Chains A and B, each alone.
Chain A
């Protein structure tokens, strides 16, 4: 079975540019999570969705960050405008309503210069 699929795997962009990260959850999973990982702060939950509806976005650091889930098989995390301090690995993860194990994608490694 395909796991959680993220794209791009690596992105280098200039400060001020818009960044869009994409995620396809595992089919049949109705929870989707966006995490950010940095050396300084570790693994942070940014936002999560249930049945395509955002449930908790209190972890989104600033208005520059936005996330959408237009359907059950696709989500985006956008940063506009990007800043060097946004450099991190961004993980998408998903699970079912009945399960408590979440499955992670391989991450999108973002560098903002």
Chain B
């Protein structure tokens, strides 16, 4: 079945470090891909998305590129801040009629 695999956390980085959180997917068709972020005590919020191959989603300094050849959608940020500490979820959707399939989430802690 369709699935999303994320790197396991927790990931601990110093402020201003470079961030990569790996995400790969398995899908029978051509999914849309998403990154959601969950700050402590809150619900999930959409961070960015890409709907077709080679699209780049970006928001708040985060970027991810839809790579069909490697079935990946890795999340990157050039310089993390303490306020980026959260849990990050990669997800896919095959069509408007199917629910999102989420990865298990990766916890990021950024220390000053």
Contacts and interface: CB of A to CB of B under 8 A. Distances in A.
Does B associate with A? yes
Interface of A: 4, 31, 33, 42-43, 45, 48, 50, 56, 91, 93, 97-107
Given A43-B89, A100-B32, A100-B93, A106 B104 contact: no
Contact of B104 (A4, A42, A97): A42
Chain A contact residues: over half helix, strand or loop, or mixed?
strand
A82 to B, nearest CB: 22
Interface of B: 32, 34, 36, 42-46, 49, 51, 89, 93, 95-97, 99-100, 102, 104-105
B25 to A, nearest CB: 14
Given A43-B89, A100-B32, A100-B93, A48 B46 contact: no
Given A98-B96, A100-B32, A43 B43 contact: no
B99 A91 contact: no
B43 A101 contact: no
Contacts of A100: 32, 49, 51, 93, 95-96, 100
